[in-house]
Amino acid sequence: MTEFEKQFQEIKSFLDFEDYSLLTKRIIDLTLDTENISFYQKTNDLLDWLDQNENNIEAKKQRFSLLLDELHRYLSSKPIPEKQILVSAKNIKKSYNTASFSLGPINLDLSQGEILGLVGENGNGKTTLLRLLCGELFATDGELNYTFHFKDLFELRTQLIYIPQRTATWYGSMFENLQFTASSYGYKPEENKLVVELIIARLNLRKYRNHRWKDLSSGYKMRFELARMLLRKPKILLIDEPLANLDILAQQTVLEDFRAIAKSPFRPIGIVLSSQQLYEVEKTSDQVIFLKNGEQKNLHAKSSAENEEKTEEHLIIELESEWSQNQLNEAFSGKLISLKFNGGTFIATFSSEMSSYDFLRIITEKQIPLQYFRNISKSTRRFFVS
């Protein structure tokens, strides 16, 4: 089964479970994959119809099903490009003459369809690495190779889209701004409005298209930035703290959007994002780089074995309990390598013979009151607490 077929089956299940919100998004993704104006029109017609007939469930299901079948027929015959490496960094460093901080050496490979998460405390080099990768900073050492075609550095930077944490203000109508982006990126006049409408709908911005920038919450500002990014057809998208101003639900939605955008079978892109939301990023990312004082530590990276932290054999549990450190130490005695109290939670490190089940067994047997626990053996969380 091809990547497209797999994704299509997933989309089909949204229809079966009547999850129209997700279904609409994914249908728009498929529509954009077609790069065909007649599909742009059809999906827009459906969106307009939905505005008036939200509660007409039967008709809605029928229309979605019909469009989905058409999209499937069209895209089944569309060739799926092979995924390529986009950028390869070998021992890149960034140091400054005047500052004591330096970043690197960093090693990474990013391919089409992959998401790379950057985590680490503030001031440890996440933004510097993003700016290095988008060409805003130059590497003082090492090699940074972009494998796609570009004529000059300007053209390279048109394909590397960096969204900083603080985005610049948009002036005028949001819709016009997006139309300007679309026409600058070569969308034909007849498809311009249709594509912009689709992307606005894709990011749940239909209600806000005529709002002014200053009337939008920071979450919606980020969404408009993402809408603009989608029109720019980047090779690599680099986003600094995209989750910072979002509520928990919105964080999950945005991350899911990133996955869908990056992993489009027909238009895959590479995404690098920095965040403090460890677990969410880890769930979404294909690779995670933890940065501590500018140095790299990888989590489940495929290609940079030399940077792997050699602590995976230990079982590391983060837990919250009413018991004191002494009580817990006594309860886990014999199995415990270390137990640290870390601002409200305990970090218990056990030998590699222990498993999560063994840990739970001890909890049950000794009736240890437990509010929360998480196995962070394979999470960058362990780098934060170590």
- The answer to the question of residue 372 lying near another protein (CB under 8 A) is no
CB of 200 to another protein, least distance (A): 16
CB of 24 to another protein, least distance (A): 26
Q: Which residues contact residue 271 at a Cβ distance below 8 angstroms, ignoring those fewer than 6 apart?
A: 114, 115, 116, 236, 237, 238, 239, 258, 261, 262
CB of 150 to another protein, least distance (A): 9
* Bridge partners of residue 144, in order along the sequence: 89
* Bridge partners of residue 318, in order along the sequence: 347, 374
- The answer to the question of residue 44 lying near another protein (CB under 8 A) is no
Size of the site for another protein (CB under 8 A): 26
Q: Site residues for another protein, window 108-147 (CB under 8 A)?
A: 135-138
Q: Site residues for another protein, window 186-205 (CB under 8 A)?
A: 186, 189, 192-193
Which part of the chain contacts another protein (CB under 8 A), choosing from 20-28, 178-186, 290-298, 313-321? 178-186
Q: Do 319 and 342 form a contact (C-beta atoms < 8 A)?
A: no
Q: Site residues for another protein, window 144-163 (CB under 8 A)?
A: 152-158
What is the distance between the terminal CA atoms of the chain, rounded to a whole angstrom? Answer: 43
Q: Which is nearer to another protein, 162 or 350 (CB)?
A: 162
Which part of the chain contacts another protein (CB under 8 A), choosing from 44-52, 180-188, 280-288, 343-351? 180-188
- Name which of 242, 115, 116, 267 is nearest 167 in CA terms: 242
HEC-encoded secondary structure of 131-160: HHHCCCCCCCEEEEEECCCCCCHHHHHHCE
- The answer to the question of residue 211 lying near another protein (CB under 8 A) is no
CB of 49 to another protein, least distance (A): 25
Which part of the chain contacts another protein (CB under 8 A), choosing from 171-179, 265-273, 292-300, 361-369? 171-179
**Residue of 20, 49, 148, 180 that binds another protein (CB under 8 A):** 180
**Residue of 24, 112, 127, 181 that binds another protein (CB under 8 A):** 181
- The answer to the question of residue 215 lying near another protein (CB under 8 A) is no
- Surface-to-core class of residue 19, CB atoms within 10 Å of its CB (0-12 exposed, 13-18 middle, 19+ buried): middle
- The answer to the question of residue 232 lying near another protein (CB under 8 A) is yes
Longest alpha-carbon distance in the chain: 73
- The answer to the question of residue 179 lying near another protein (CB under 8 A) is yes
DSSP state of 371: S
- Name which of 296, 315, 314 is nearest 306 in CA terms: 296
Q: Which is nearer to another protein, 60 or 94 (CB)?
A: 94
**Residue of 88, 177, 276, 375 that binds another protein (CB under 8 A):** 177
- Name which of 166, 176, 162, 251 is nearest 212 in CA terms: 176
CA dist 296 and 289 (Å) reads: 6
Q: Are strands 102-111 and 85-95 parallel, antiparallel or unpaired?
A: antiparallel
CA dist 110 and 267 (Å) reads: 15
- The answer to the question of residue 101 lying near another protein (CB under 8 A) is no
- The answer to the question of residue 95 lying near another protein (CB under 8 A) is no
CB of 281 to another protein, least distance (A): 26
For the sheet with 270-274, list strands across it. Answer: 160-163, 236-240, 270-274, 115-119, 287-292, 295-299
CB of 174 to another protein, least distance (A): 12
- The answer to the question of residue 41 lying near another protein (CB under 8 A) is no
For the chain, how are helix, strand and coil distributed in percent, rounded to 5? 45, 20, 35
- The answer to the question of residue 184 lying near another protein (CB under 8 A) is yes
CB of 183 to another protein, least distance (A): 4
**Residue of 19, 176, 280, 295 that binds another protein (CB under 8 A):** 176
Q: What does the binding site for another protein look like in residue numbers (CB under 8 A)?
A: 135-138, 152-158, 171-172, 176-177, 179-181, 183-186, 189, 192-193, 232
